[in-house]
Each structure stands twice: as structure tokens, then as C-alpha cells.
Amino acid sequence: MNAFEANRLCAVEGYNGLAPYIDVKQYNFVEGLRPSGAGETFIGVMDVAKEDIWTHLDGSSIENNDFWSTFWLDEDKKLNQPNGATDQNCAVINEKSHQLPNKTQDRSCTTDLQDEMLCYKKVVNCLNWTSSADQMYREHCYWFTSKPLSISSWTIVDAMDKCREDGGYIAPLIDDQNYQFIKDDVLGTVFSIKSTQVWLGTHSIMGSPSNWNNDPSFVTSLSSSSSSEECVVIDSNRIQSWEPCNTNTPITCEPDTSNVNINSTTVEELRRVLLIDPEQTNAYKLTKISVYEDRPVAKAIGCIGVVILISVILFIVLLDCQRIEQCYTKKKTN
């Protein structure tokens, strides 16, 4: 199948599509999920719109066109990748037996056919619990989101706006159980791939921890805020601190946590989720079975075909009967 068919197959099988490229660390993690005998593997990157400007398959930009760092460079410059110009606008990861198995090269989106692909799925991680502080039962889900390339600032207000656009709101810290779940289960996988800091939905403007969405805050394990108008952030070491809510520096402008997020998954589980056996796909299985067709037009065509087939058989039988009769007549005459 070609790259776009592979992307469609990922969707048919319940995934979001071919895995995108985020940065080098994420790419190395995803590439490492491939089995030892993997062949060339499709990923969700292309330069269809403009040559050498690589984007995701949905057209969204790759920051700083950073996908270039994955291409195979050879001492023989004739072998350098990408080398297919406008004839090759999609990307594959080299087969594992290649001298540079973790590098990529460009391939045709339509004529180069591969059986292997890396799919991705946005995973929601949910917590159902009864808070011991107010005896309230709550069901919260979390996802992880990052600063869009289209905006330059990433204050707490920008982070809240992005969460609302995604259909949620920035994650509140209600009690120690909810806080620990977000820090360990939700952000654990994120921090294993990406070094950054994360906005959360709790502030100190009222003099004590309060949530932007007006949920109560009974958290006791937060550090003390040194001044008012500070907001909670967690860094890659899972250490919580307070930053001015109007902070807009690289240290806090990457991602935020909204009311739904990536779950903590082991590498083996990710390997099982991301790799597809082509023989277990619906597309492959449909090639091995007949499909019942219930449309009137299809039934009519089928009936006509049966009538024609029976007519041909009857015609042949009649011809044979005439010959038999002629032979019998000759014998009788003799």
C-alpha cells in the first residue's frame, strides 16, 4: 500500500493516522518501537505543498522544519537524502537491516508500496475517585497539549484558551490523589519523551491554592507560593513550583495540561498498540471473503446473470439432444 493508503488504514483500524514527527527525542522513541526485522516504515510526514518544507499529513507545520535532522546523509553526496525531488514527497524510516536503520529517506506518496507503518493514537487517561476532603465523587479525564506554532506567547491565559479550543479546561488540582495522578500517570510518559515544564490550573491569587475553574482545592502537598498572582508549573523532574501567571519564557511556554491527557504506558504496551500486523487488518480480511450485497440493483444484476447462465446451459443441452436424436434416427434407418 502507498503512504496515503497506510494513513487511511491506520484510521480504519481505530488509530488517528500515521505517527507525526514532533522532535528528535520523540522520533527516536517511536523509531525504537519497531521490531528488529522491520522493513521500510511509513510515517506521517510529507513535503507535497512545497518542496523540502516538511509537514504533517494534515498540513500542520513541523517547528523549524526540524524533520530534516532525520534524513540519511552519506559520504557519497549522490546518496544523500532526500533525493527524489517532487517525485518523492513522503517519508519512510529505513529498514532495520540498513547501515543507518534509524534514518529516513523520501519516497513516492503513491507509487512506492510498503507493508509496514507506525500509527499513533491520542489516548485519554481518566481518574474516578472520591475526595476524602469533601466526600465528592468525581470523574476527570486528561490530555496533553502544546503551544501552537501560530502564537508567540504562552502565558497561563494562552494555555487556558488552548484548552477551551480543544473542548476542555486547564486541569485543576483538587486534592493530593488527583495531583499525584496528574504528576505521575498523566505526565510521566510525556516527561519520558520531552523535557519541558507544564502549566496546571491552580493559582495563588486568593492567597491560597485556588483553581481557575472554581473547583475546590484541598491539595496539601504543594510548595508555598512566595507571592500573589503565581500559577503552578511542574518540570520534567516532576518538581512543582510557582511562576508568575504572566510568565512568557521558554522555560514554561511549552505544554499545558487540560482536562484530558496522555496516559502512562509501558514501552511494551506502546509497541503492541503502535505496530500493525497487515494480516489482521480489515482490509486484508476483506480480500479473503465475499461480501453480501443487499441493494436492489445488485440483486437484479445477479438475477440477470443467473438467467443468462441457465439459458446458455439449456441451449447446450438442446443442441446435444438434437445430435442424440439424429444419431438415433440414423441407427434406426440402418
Would you say residue 257 has pLDDT above 60?
no
Nearest-CA neighbor of 42 among 111, 114, 122?
114
Q: Does residue 20 or residue 74 have the better pLDDT?
A: 20
Q: Does residue 34 or residue 166 have the better pLDDT?
A: 34
Mean pLDDT of 27-36: 86
Per domain, the residue ranges of the chain are 3-120, 125-264
Q: What pLDDT shows up at residue 46? A: 93
pLDDT grade for 280, boundaries at 50, 70 and 90: low
Please identify which residue in the block is written with the cell numbers 510526514: 45
Separation of first and last alpha carbons in the chain: 70
Would you say residue 328 has pLDDT above 80?
no
Q: What pLDDT shows up at residue 255? A: 37
What's the CATH class of domain 3-120? alpha beta
pLDDT in tens, 42-70: 999 999 888 889 998 888 888 778 888 88
Q: What pLDDT shows up at residue 286? A: 61
Same fold: 3-120 with 125-264: yes
Comparing 4-13, 35-44, 60-69, 209-218, which segment has the lowest mean pLDDT?
60-69
Q: What is the pTM of this model?
A: 0.49
Would you say residue 34 has pLDDT above 80?
yes
Q: What pLDDT shows up at residue 266? A: 43
The rounded mean pLDDT for the chain is: 80
Query: Computed from CA positions of residues 190, 191, 196, 200, in that sequence, does the dihedral angle turn out positive or negative?
Result: positive
Nearest-CA neighbor of 253 among 322, 320, 159, 188?
159
221, three cell numbers: 502537598
Comparing 108-112, 182-186, 330-334, which segment has the lowest mean pLDDT?
330-334
The conformation of residue 132, written as its DSSP 8-state character, comes to T
Query: Computed from CA positions of residues 246, 251, 253, 259, in that sequence, does the dihedral angle turn out positive or negative?
Result: negative
pLDDT grade for 242, boundaries at 50, 70 and 90: very high
Q: Could you give the 3-state DSSP secondary structure of residue 149? A: coil
- Report the chain's C-alpha Rg in angstroms: 31
d(Cα 280, Cα 287) in Å, to the nearest integer?
A: 12
Q: Which CATH architecture has domain 125-264?
A: Roll (3.10)
pLDDT in tens, 150-189: 777 788 888 888 888 877 889 999 999 999 999 888 888 7
- How far is Cα of residue 187 from the mean position of the Cα atoms in its chain? 18
Mean pLDDT of 305-311: 84
Q: What pLDDT shows up at residue 172? A: 92
Element (H, E) at 241: strand 240-244
Element (H, E) at 117: strand 116-117
Mean pLDDT of 117-129: 81
d(Cα 276, Cα 280) in Å, to the nearest integer?
A: 8
